[in-house]
Amino acid sequence: MEESASRSDKKKVVAVVGGGLVGALNACYFAKRGFDVQVFETREDIRKAKIVKGRSINLALSHRGRSALKHVGMEDKIVSKGIPMHARMIHSLSGKQSPIPYGKKGQYILSVDRANLNKELLTEAETYPNTTLNFGRKLQDWNAETGLMTFIRSDGSEEEIQADLIVGCDGAFSAIRKQFLRRSRFNFSQTYIPHGYMELTMPPINGEFAMKPNYLHIWPRNTFMMIALPNLDKTFTCTLFMPFEEFEKITTGDEVIEFFQKYFPDTIPLIGVDALKRDYFRLPGQAMVSVKCTPYHIGDKCVLMGDAAHAVVPFYGQGMNAGFEDCIVFEEIMEQFNEDFSAVLPEYTRVRVPDDHAIADLAMYNYIEMRAHVNSRWFLFRKHVDNFLHAIMPKTIIPLYTMVTFSRIRYHEAVKRWHWQDKVINRGLLFSATGAVLGASYLLAKNPPDITKLTVPVEKLWSRLMALRTP
């Protein structure tokens, strides 16, 4: 009864274009507010399809994503199907494994299955009576002034709909965004990085994980790297990141093994020689793109969210989290401006653009940090200093990773704060070092030591200092 009553008083129609992660979650948000929500997805229902092609298999869910899921009561369900990862596990060339915690004790990110998460979100969206999921609908045309949209159904027939608000959640190659590009004064950039990625599977051994499961495993090798995330079925998904020309250099199974022997020898028995030789050639290296644009809206009719507005490279594990946070930020502004789209949309652009641009830049920065800096002792030393300072001054010094991953501090503010902290800490270290040298000089002057006995410790100290500097 409630349904028919609400349908009759002409609720505003929100057309969500794209039924991926952000589209499906957004459907829940708009449905919760009582709009008539229509989701249009080009593909068929992934809950019925056998194989989901394309995107990577698992994702790292952290605080921002969880907060967004919580708002629609989905957090616990999703978290229960995720695998906590408390630390990075760095694999050196010699096979040595060293953990670097992500944050304080009890802080972790979650490895979640993309396809399962998407399915759960679609099912949740459908529980709202004011939501309809329309699959197999390809966007043909739409009018940013009137909100009239035309879709082509899988059978070739046309379908028209009049939307009050069009929400473009159709990913990095957004069809909705194309019309933004045709308008004047729309700033846009798409940047492909020189690296591609390739996914390989590490099967369970005797029914158990082949490596410690509660870690995000990293093999940093400077110009390239491999990472591995655990799955519920006790496999690991290994992702190899490498410049395209390096991928192309390897053309035979033997060359694959030779390459792994040289750079990732510890993974060969775990992935398996035959699997490696076969799976390396299943698909070529996949491209990764970073997309930035502004504004995110046209008038009071259309808004971009998720990858359609800001695709990021995957190296900060924030792509999905930023997209999910878009939903809360929009929700907060809807509340603030009483659902008046003509005020909400410009405000969303004003508030969200600097944050999305900041996380896009951070992800690009981490693209270097993850594969190179984690090999540097200075970097590791600074991580320890940051964590120590955070422990004794939890509100003054917060490591960047913690701000990004375990808080909802606005991304662009996290970056600002990081630059400030870095300056302060580096100065502090310089002063401490100077103080230590002065103190030592003073003590030495007061009690001149027996030089012969000093030789060894000084040499040791020197070599340690030098070692700290080398990458």
Give min distance, CB of 386 to its own copies, in A.
Answer: 33
Give min distance, CB of 53 to its own copies, in A.
Answer: 16
140 makes contact with its own copies (CB under 8 A): no
Residue 181 or 433: the one with the smaller Cβ distance to its own copies is 181
346 makes contact with its own copies (CB under 8 A): no
Give min distance, CB of 295 to its own copies, in A.
Answer: 11
Task: Check if the beta carbon of residue 246 is closer than 8 Å to that of residue 263.
Answer: no
Q: Which of 92, 98, 189, 396 binds its own copies (CB under 8 A)?
A: 189
CA distances from 123 to 46, 231, 309, 321, 432 (A): 11, 22, 25, 20, 57
| Nearest residue to 288 via CA among 172, 411, 115, 168 | 172
Give min distance, CB of 336 to its own copies, in A.
Answer: 24
Q: Using CB atoms within 10 Å of the CB of residue 46, give its burial: 0 to 12 exposed, 13 to 18 middle, 19+ buried.
A: buried
Give min distance, CB of 188 to its own copies, in A.
Answer: 5
Residue 186 or 379: the one with the smaller Cβ distance to its own copies is 186
Residue 11 has what DSSP assignment? P
Residue 123 φ then ψ, to 5°: -65, -40
Task: Check if the beta carbon of residue 302 is closer than 8 Å to that of residue 15.
Answer: no
Q: Which amino acid is at 47?
A: R
Task: Check if the beta carbon of residue 25 is closer than 8 Å to that of residue 169.
Answer: no
Stretch that binds its own copies, among 19-27, 181-189, 203-211, 361-369 (CB under 8 A): 181-189
184 makes contact with its own copies (CB under 8 A): yes
Stretch that binds its own copies, among 99-107, 188-196, 204-212, 372-380 (CB under 8 A): 188-196
Residues 141-180 as x/- pattern, contact with its own copies by CB under 8 A: ----------------------------------------
188 makes contact with its own copies (CB under 8 A): yes
| Nearest residue to 137 via CA among 47, 46, 45, 40 | 40
Q: How does 283-293 read in b/e, with b if 16+ C-beta sit within 10 Å?
A: eebbebebbbb
Residue 44: how many CB atoms within 10 A of its CB? Answer: 11
Q: Which of 12, 55, 138, 186 binds its own copies (CB under 8 A)?
A: 186
Residue 192 or 431: the one with the smaller Cβ distance to its own copies is 192
Give min distance, CB of 172 to its own copies, in A.
Answer: 11
Give min distance, CB of 48 to its own copies, in A.
Answer: 29
Q: Specify which residues 216 forms β-bridges with.
A: 88
Residue 287 or 467: the one with the smaller Cβ distance to its own copies is 287
Binding to its own copies, residues 282-341 (CB under 8 A) = 287
Give min distance, CB of 142 to its own copies, in A.
Answer: 18
Bond into 129 cis (ω within 30): no
Q: Specify which residues 202 forms β-bridges with.
A: 236
Give min distance, CB of 181 to its own copies, in A.
Answer: 8
Residue 91 or 357: the one with the smaller Cβ distance to its own copies is 357
361 makes contact with its own copies (CB under 8 A): no
Q: Which of 104, 192, 252, 438 binds its own copies (CB under 8 A)?
A: 192
Residue 84 or 354: the one with the smaller Cβ distance to its own copies is 354
What is the distance between the alpha carbons of residues 2 and 299, in angstroms, rounded to a whole number? 32
438 makes contact with its own copies (CB under 8 A): no
Helix axes 341-369, 319-336, angle to 10 degrees: 160
The sign of the CA dihedral 318, 319, 320, 325 is positive
Q: Which of 191, 222, 396, 432 binds its own copies (CB under 8 A)?
A: 191
Residues 6+ apart with CB under 8 A from 68: 25, 324, 325, 327, 328
Number of residues that bind its own copies (CB under 8 A): 11
185 makes contact with its own copies (CB under 8 A): yes
Residues 6+ apart with CB under 8 A from 118: 19, 20, 21, 24, 46, 52
Binding to its own copies, residues 363-382 (CB under 8 A) = none
Residue 190 or 432: the one with the smaller Cβ distance to its own copies is 190
Give min distance, CB of 183 to its own copies, in A.
Answer: 10
Q: Which of 140, 154, 162, 187 binds its own copies (CB under 8 A)?
A: 187
Binding site for its own copies (CB under 8 A): 181, 184-192, 287
